[in-house]
Amino acid sequence: MRKNKGVIRDALLREEALKKIEGFVSNKIPEARFIGRMESPIKGGDGNVEYLIGYRKG
């Protein structure tokens, strides 16, 4: 995965990274149920975008 100072600018690579994180959580915490994800409404000064990923236990 190519990164530019921690910011992934390519949309396909960003989606791949998010899917890997979601898969990691599902494997490590099987009882966690994915609720959803969204871009954070707070943007970084350098264009960095954070994501919020929600899970529910059980």
Query: Residue 2 has what pLDDT?
Result: 54
Q: Residue range 39-53: average pLDDT?
A: 88
Listed residue (23, 15, 26) closest to 51, CA to CA:
15
Domain boundaries, the chain: 11-57
Structure tokens at 21: 């994180």
The confidence score (pLDDT) of residue 46 equals 78
H/E element holding 14? helix 11-28
pLDDT score for 7: 78
Say if residues 31 and 5 touch (Cβ distance below 8 Å).
no
Asked if residues 32 and 25 have their Cβ atoms less than 8 Å apart, the reply is: yes
Of the chain, the percentage scoring pLDDT greater than 90 comes to 66
